[in-house]
Structure 1
Amino acid sequence: MKKICITIVSIAVVLILFEFKAIAQGEKFFDVIDEINYGEECLQTWQIGEAATVVSNLLSVAPENPYVRFFAGEVRFYEGNYQEALSFLKDALQEPEIAQRGRAFYDLVDKIYQTTSKFKEIKTEHFLFRYNEDKDAILADYALETLEKAYHAIGNDLGYFPKEPILVEVFPDAESFCAISTLTKEEIETSGTVAICLFNRVIITSPRLQPRGYQWLDTLTHEYVHYVIMKKTYNRVPIWLHEGIAKYEEERWFEGVSPKLPVSLESLLAEAVEKDYFITFRQMHPSLAKLKKKEDTALAFAEVFTVIDYLFNRGGYPLLTTILDSIKEGKSTEDAILSAIGVPFDEFEKNWLQDLKQKKFRRVHGIQVLPTRLKESSSLVDDIESVAEIEVKDARRFAILGDLLRREGLHSAAIVEYEKAFRKANNISPQIQNKLAMSYIMDTQYTKAEEILKVALEYYPEYSTTYISLGELYQRKGEYDAAVKILSQANSINPFNPIIHKNLASLYNKLKRKGDAEIELKRLMLVTK
């Protein structure tokens, strides 16, 4: 299952609406109040350009007014101009009432600025991409190519192309991501949240913070879909519809891929149908990140994916855009769906659930939602770390013995122990699957290795080690093009693994693709410096 990415539609700490006092200010002050209130509404509805126009007008009329300056600080923050935001906010805090009620927002912006002030920015036709150059430089080319593809694909699907540059920021550590996401570390790790669309920007964590990365290019696209929905509908879409469309569209940057549930989510749905246990739309509000168990969050994503699939099968993208356009025009979600499909919302929800229960979802006993742990670690996961991830105690014991034998070059003996571990883990453990497959490869049992790795890839497509193992297999078989293809997919999960770039460089040289080999060697230098 992909690492989870979340949008929080509204957070109370963001917009601070003051009850203004018009003492000896005259009629003109009431005009200022009206403008600020209108500007705040623009921020809440993600019409940042309009809010910026309001600020410009207010600063020309009342540049020293502390309420105007506080609002200006809010707008500059939403525009991504942290330094100017802090300057306005600091001035505004001289007013005691603002200081009392606005200090928390100032502290939030200041904390985020401590990280973002070190960012490098790259501008393309449609995006402003910011990242820590010392740690995350390798991400830029991959990210911008993906984002530009997503811009056109999602725009065509949902009928909306943002005109202003879209700010995308990669946060380099757990502390800074907690600050800007306004989520606690516990909420992040419980829900599996690694990205968020908030404050008029797309925010992701660096894949460097996961031992094997995560499907971060899909995640970028997922969050960009949220951005489009926010802008298109004035931030009026409920979370279930938001997340459903984003989940449905997250692979649209990759040409030729049709929306499909991963096996892990399909298995969760099969179990939910069996137990008649579902996450309701009401429980999903205000954010899937607030659910108490990562399995519940994953199940919620699976459910809303099927909702969109249900709607799509009844009218494709025109139906989805009709619903979004109706919401933008002021209709409730319930009325928008009624108008689009001619069925009251309660009946629509009942029909979808009935359709869901009739589907033959595949149940895979033992498949798991892999944990999220945001912390910087080595780019390579060693045997000790991978064994520690194996949850079944007896399987872990056999895997340890297998590792010892494999390091001594006793591959046939290692296979015996890994096969024991494999059986104890009910044949479902990406760690054991890769250990066993690599021993098969070293023992030249290529057919067995490929079979087990393809199953591992089907069950855990986010587990980057499997792509590397398959790349090794294809390279040994002389299937260099296949090896390049599978290793290139690994980059969309963990571009920080030097083995990927080293092996790609070698493969490109064998294929006489000298230019591509040089690019991979440069990338290798970036991740090993």
Structure 2
Amino acid sequence: MSRKARLVARLTLVSVLVSSLVLMKIPTVPNLYINSLIREINKRVLVWYSYSRGMDALSGERFIVFYHAGRQREAEMVLTAAEGFYPALAENFGLEIQGPVPVLLYDDRESLNKSFGWPADADTLGVYWAGSIRVLSPDAWINSADERDYYRVFAELGPMSHEIAHLFVDYLSMGNCPRWFNEGVAQYQEHRLTGFHFGEACSFPLEKAFSLEELAGFDTLEEQNRAYHQSFSIVSFLVETYGWPAVVSVLREFGRGADLEDGLKRVFGIDPNTLDGEWKRWVRYR
């Protein structure tokens, strides 16, 4: 067995053993702790994997960017954006993330999509997964000879603010956040920091609205732009009506094991049907 194979086997064994101990000690909501355990193991495995592949690394205060030779300029831009967005997001979520967050820079869209088993032409700029962030090289999608405009485009249209917001949601909710709610929160923070959105929050076409039951299958919906727009609109409604701290409180309730219905009741005093009706009235009459 090769050294690499032995290390992978050991990491797998450690994961199984620790997961078993967690289940024995915390039988009430084991999935939350297993999600957190997997996240921390994945972060360390990705760092080891990147170094073992001979990738270069650029370290900041909160992030470490891994990249292939010849991509240092882009890695520097990714690190600058990540470190720049972090303080505002940490303040907004009321949380500090311990340890460096690994960011893996992919040279082209095909290799990024391949790492998740997606079609080669999937329109992806970045992905958050289990404590790590995967990013498409800015050179693969930005066409600008002006250095200042190049950096501006990446900061405003790139994935860093959005994916780092997912990072905070994951930590607060311990991985127990409805997918549409997660996307709505990430978009809300992205819009706040960069101005980007899939559509104005208060102008969603209600005749095309998904039910909350349909939104529960977020990734299976064919009209993804509409799903993103609706999730952003609903979270924006919650922020405007109840305040951003209340949304953070819902994420913390998810982290204690609450489902969507319980989280809404505990923080807002409403159920999913009431949320749907109040949101639609907000869009209709705002």
Residue 320 of structure 1 is matched in structure 2 by 247
Question: Is 1:204 matched with 2:135?
Answer: yes
Cα shift at 1:250: 1.3
- Code of the aligned partner of 1:195: G
**d(CA) in 2 for partners of 1:153, 1:279:** 32
Does the C-alpha gap of structure 1 residues 118 and 269 become closer, same or farther in structure 2, counting only changes over 3 Å? Answer: farther
Report if aligned partners of 1:222, 1:246 keep a CA contact under 8 Å in 2: yes
Question: Aligned letter for 1:122?
Answer: L
User: Which amino acid letter does the alignment assign opposite residue 65 of structure 2?
Assistant: F
- Matched letter for residue 305 of structure 1: F
Unpaired segments ≥5 residues, structure 1: 1-17, 21-31, 53-73, 85-112, 360-529
- 1:354-369 aligned within 5 A: 354-359=281-286
1:82 aligns with 2:72: no
Tell me, yes or no, if structure 1 residue 120 matches structure 2 residue 56: yes
1:133 to 43, 47, 69: 69
- 1:292-311 to structure 2, matched below 5 A, reads 292=222, 296-311=223-238
Deviation for aligned residue 1:204: 1.4
Q: Using structure 2 for the length normalisation, give the TM-score.
A: 0.77
Structure 1 partner of 2:36? 46
Contact kept in structure 1, 2:67 and 2:105, CA below 8 Å: yes
1:37 is matched with 20
Which amino acid is 2:274 matched to? E
Superposition CA RMSD, Å: 3.4
- Alpha-carbon shift at residue 287 of structure 1 (Å): 4.6
Alignment match of 1:248 (pick from 166, 188, 194): 188
Normalised to the residue count of structure 1, the TM-score between the two structures is 0.44
Cα distance 1:44–1:212, how it changes in 2: closer, same or farther (>3 A)? Answer: farther
The residue that corresponds to 1:232 in the other structure is: 172
Aligned to 1:349: 276
Q: Give the count of matched residue pairs.
A: 259
On the 8 A contact 1:126/1:165 being kept in 2, the answer is yes
| Structure whose alpha-carbon radius of gyration is higher | 1
Match of 1:193 among 120, 124, 132: 124
Give SS of 2:110's match: helix
The alpha-carbon distance between structure 1 residues 337 and 179, as it changes in their structure 2 partners (threshold 3 A), is same
Gaps of 5+ in 2: 1-11, 24-30, 145-149
Shift of 1:174: 2.6
Offset at residue 305 of structure 1 (A): 1.3
Contact 1:153-1:252 at 8 Å conserved across structures: no
Q: Which amino acid aligns with 1:301?
A: Y
- Map Cα deviations across residues 5-33 of structure 1 (whole Å, 9 max, x no partner): xxxxxxxxxxxxx9x9xxxxxxxxxxx96
Asked whether the 8 Å contact 2:43–2:130 carries over to 1, the reply is no
CA-to-partner distance for each residue in 1:494-522, whole Å, 9 max, x for gaps?
A: xxxxxxxxxxxxxxxxxxxxxxxxxxxxx
Q: Is the 2:201–2:229 contact (alpha carbons within 8 Å) kept by the matching residues of 1?
A: no
CA offset digits 1:418-469 (Å, max 9, x no partner): xxxxxxxxxxxxxxxxxxxxxxxxxxxxxxxxxxxxxxxxxxxxxxxxxxxx
Q: How far has the Cα of 1:285 moved from its partner?
A: 4.4
Q: 1:106 corresponds to which residue?
A: none
How far apart, CA to CA, are the structure 2 residues paired with 1:320 and 1:155? Answer: 15
Contact 2:64 2:102 in 1 (8 A): yes
Partner of 1:445: none
Partner of 2:90: 155
